[in-house]
Amino acid sequence: MATQNITGFKSFEAGADLSAKQFYFVSVSADGQIDATGDGAYAVGVLQDKPAAQGRAAQVATTFGDIVKVVCGGTVTRGGPVASDANGAAVNAASGDVILGEALETGASGEIISIVFAPRGTV
C-alpha cells in the first residue's frame, strides 16, 4: 500500500487542467506555471491535488528525500531508479533519463506506489 511522508510543499500555478494528474511528476515551464513532466525530464516535485483549470493553485511535494505517492506509467521495480514518462507518470529510469527517485514498491501501469523523491543526474 502506498504511503507518504511529506515535509515540504510549494504552491504553484497550474499551466493547464491538471485534475487527472494527482500523484504525477510536474515541472515548471518558462511561464512559471507547472505542467506534467515530459519523458525523462527533470521534475520539481509531485502534484498532490487536482487543480481543474489553468491558473489555479497547485500543491506540489518538493522536498528532496520525502516519501511520495506516484502513479506508474508502466512497470516499476522496487529499489530501482524512477523517471518520468511522456505523461509525468513514474517508470523505470532508462539511459539518458533524469532520475527522480527510488521506488519503494513494485508497480504496474496505473497503480499508485511510494517512492523516495530524490532528483539527481541522468542514468
Output the domain CATH number for residue 68.
Answer: 2.40.300.10
Which has the closest alpha carbon to 79: 45, 109, 115?
A: 115
Instruction: Give the pLDDT confidence score for residue 52 in this predicted structure.
Output: 97
pLDDT tens across 18-56, in order? 999 999 999 999 999 999 999 999 999 999 999 999 999
**Domain total in the chain:** 1
Instruction: Give the pLDDT confidence score for residue 121 in this predicted structure.
Output: 87
DSSP string, 67-112: EEEEEBSS-B-TTSEEEE-TTS-EEE--TTPBP-EEESS-B-TT-E
- Assess contact for 98 and 45: CB atoms under 8 A: no
- Assess contact for 77 and 26: CB atoms under 8 A: no
Q: Which domain holds residue 61?
A: 1-123
In 14-66, DSSP assigns E strands to 25-28, 34-36, 45-47, 57-61
pLDDT tier for residue 1 given thresholds of 50, 70 and 90: confident
Q: Which residues make beta-bridge pairs with 118?
A: none
The C-alpha cell 506534467 sits at 36
Q: Distance (Å, rounded) from C-alpha 4 to C-alpha 18?
A: 20
72: left (phi over 0), alpha (psi -120 to 50) or beta: beta
